[in-house]
Amino acid sequence: MRGKIQAPAGFPVGAFFGLTIHMADGANTADDFNQGAEDKIPVSLDSEQAILGAVLFDNEIFFRAAAFLKGEHFHDPVHQLIFEACGELINSGRLASPVALDTYLASSSGYIEAGGKKYLEQLAANVPSTTGAVDYAKIVFDLSVCRGLMSIGSEMVDRAKTSSLEDHPSRQLEDAEQLLYKLAETGKYGGGFKTFRSAITEAIELANAAVKRDGGLAGVATELRDLDRMLGGMHPSDLLILAGRPSMGKTALATNIAVNAAQKFRAEKQPDGSMKTVEGAVVGLFSLEMASEQIATRIISEFARVPSERIRRGDVDQEEFDRIYHAARELEKLPLYIDDTGGISIAQLAARARRLKRQHGLGLLVVDYLQLLTGSGRRNDGRVQEITEISQGLKALAKELNVPILALSQLSRQVESRDDKRPQLSDLRESGSIEQDADVVLFVYREKYYLSRSEPREGTEDHAKWMARLDDVGDTAEVIIGKQRHGPIGKVDLHFEAKFTKFSNLAQNQYSNQ
C-alpha cells in the first residue's frame, strides 16, 4: 500500500513535498495513532525518508545519526537497506551519493521495486533543510522503540493468558524486565550476528581507549598497580571470580576495588547528548552476607584511618570523629550502590542490575558472594546444578550489561589439609562450572593469617624461626591469578592493613609469573 503518512502528534516532522512513500499496513495518520486500534503500527515514513535524504545531501550527518540509529530501527526494509549501505560506503571513506548507492544496491530486488536511482534522487532533492536531521533520526528511533514495546506487550499478554504452574508469574516479570531492559539499551529486543568489521572497530576503539588512559588499561582499573598491570583492568563482559578461605580478606579486597573504581568515575558528554564513561565506573555491590551499614563502616574506617570496631563502639575522640565526619561527607558522593538483600536468586539479581544500569548507569558489578545466591529452584536439581546455573547466569549477565562482574567465591576445606595452603583452581567449591564460566580467577592468600595461628612454645628454636618468618611476611598479602582467559597467570603482592581492612600497593612491588 502506498500513500502519505504522518508521525504521531507532537513529533516535529517537517514538510516532505512531492514524495511518494510506503505506508505500513493499517497505519494512516497521526490522529489514527491515538485511537488505540490494535492494527495501528507506530511508524513515520516521512521521518525515515527525511533522515535518509539528509544523509545523502550531507554525509557528515550520518555520523551524528549513527551514534544511536541503526538500520533495524527503520520500519521500511528498503530504508533499512539504504541506511546500512550509506554506512558501508561512508565508513570506508567513500561518498554515499545516489549514483554510488545505485551501483552498490543494483542487485537488490526491493531497492529496484521502490524506484531505484530515481527514488534516491528524490530523497536527496526533497530535503528543504538538514538542520533538523537528527530530530528526524530520533523520531525513527523512538517509533522503533514503540514498536518494540508493542511486540513485548503482545508477547507478555499471550504468555500471561496461558500461564501454567511451571511458568510462575515471578518468572514472567523477570523475563519482561529483561526484554524491556534490552529495548531501553539498544532500541531493539533481539540479538543477532554482527559483521566482523564492526567487531574490529570495537576492538580498535578499546585499544585506543587504553592508549589514551594512564597505565594503558582498557578495562575498569582496580587502582592496585601490579594487579592492573597483569589484568589490564577489568574488562566489559568478563566474569572475574575472587576466591579465598574465610578471613583471607575477599570482601575487603572487593570493597577496596569497588570504592577505587567509584572514586575514579568520570564521564564525558558525547555529540549526541549521551554520557560516556572515560575512567572509573558506576558500581553496583550486592552484599548478600554483610549489611550495607557494615560495608559503609568499613569504607569510612579506611578513609578516616580509624579502626572499624572502634567506630561501631563509638570509642573515638573529637579529632577522630571529625575525620570520620569529613570522610563520610566525601564518600557520600560516590556513584556506589549497595543492595544487601540476602538469599536472592540469580534472576532477581539480574533484574535489579538491569534496573540500576537503566536508572543510574553501571560500569562494574560486585557480588559477595556467589554461593549465597539461589537458582531457579527447580525440583530435583542438586547444589552442583544450582551453582552451574548461577555461574552461567552471571557470565550471561556480564555480556548482556557489557560490564565486568566481580563475584566472590568460597573455597573448599581441602585447602586446610595441605602444608602449602595457597589455593588452587581445584579448591573452588563446585569448581567445574565456576572455573569454566569465569574469564579470570583470583585467589586471596595471607600467609600471616596461618602463621599467627601456629605459634610454637616460647623459648624454643622453632619459636625463634617462627618470629623471623612472621617478620619476613609482615603485612604482605598475595593475589594469585589462577586463570586468565586473555592474559598471563601469576602472583601479585599487596600490602594489607588488617585494622582498616585495606589492600594497597607495596612500596617495593614484586610479582612473578608462573
pLDDT at 330 over 60: yes
In the predicted model, what is the mean pLDDT of residues 441-447? 89
Q: How far apart are the C-alpha atoms of 233 and 228, rounded to whole Å? A: 5
In this predicted model, which residue has the larger pLDDT, 160 or 37? 160
pLDDT over 80 at 501, yes or no: yes
- As a whole number, mean pLDDT of residues 320-343 equals 88
Of 473, 382, 397, 398, nearest in space to 430 by CA: 382
Task: Give the strand pairing for 440-445 and 490-497.
Answer: unpaired
Highest mean pLDDT among 3-17, 88-102, 354-368, 445-459: 354-368
Banded pLDDT at 186 (limits 50, 70, 90):
low
Q: Which one is predicted more confidently, 177 or 244?
A: 244
Q: Residue 87's Cα: distance from chain center in Å?
A: 26
* CB-based contacts of 11, cutoff 8 Å, min separation 6: 30, 44, 47, 139, 142
| Averaged pLDDT for residues 14-27 | 35
SS3 for 202-232, per residue? HHHHHHHHHHHCHHHCCCECCCCHHHHHHHC
3-state helix, strand, coil in the chain (%, to 5): 50, 15, 35
Q: Are 475 and 496 in contact (CB under 8 A)?
A: yes
Q: What pLDDT does 26 receive? A: 37
Q: Which residues sit opposite 23 in a β-bridge? A: none
Name the CATH topology of 2-155.
DNAb Helicase; Chain A (1.10.860)
Which among 133, 19, 148 has a CA at the least distance from the CA of 75?
148
Domains of the chain, residue spans = 2-155, 219-446
The answer, yes or no, to whether residue 188 has pLDDT greater than 50, is no
C-alpha cell at 301: 574506617
Q: Give me the amino acid identity at 268.
A: E
* Among 2-16, 318-332, 406-420, the least confident range: 2-16
**Check: CATH 3.30.300.30 for 219-446?**
no
> Percentage of the chain surpassing pLDDT 70?
79
At residue 457, does pLDDT exceed 50? yes
Enumerate the H helices of 333-422 as residue ranges: 346-360, 383-401
Given a contact cutoff of 8 angstroms between Cβ atoms, the answer to whether 259 and 301 are in contact is no
Q: Which residue has the higher pLDDT, 181 or 307?
A: 307
Computed over its alpha carbons, how large is the radius of gyration of the chain? 28
pLDDT of residue 432: 66
**Mean pLDDT within 337-349:** 86
Q: Which residues fall within 8 angstroms of residue 45, CB to CB, at 6 or more apart?
A: 5, 21, 22, 23, 24, 75, 76, 79
The three grid cell numbers given for residue 74, joined into one nine-digit string: 527503520
In this prediction, residue 272 carries a pLDDT of 55
- 229-243: pLDDT as tens digits: 888 889 999 999 999
Q: Is 29 left (phi over 0), alpha (psi -120 to 50) or beta?
A: beta
pLDDT score of 369:
82
Cell of 398: 556480564
Beta strands in 312-451 (DSSP E): 336-339, 364-368, 405-410, 440-445
- Within 126-167, residue ranges assigned H as helices are 133-161
Reduced to 3 states (helix: H, G, I; strand: E, B; else coil), residue 471 is helix
Sequence length of the chain is 514
The pLDDT assigned to 176 comes to 80
Contact (CB, 8 A) for 428 and 391: no
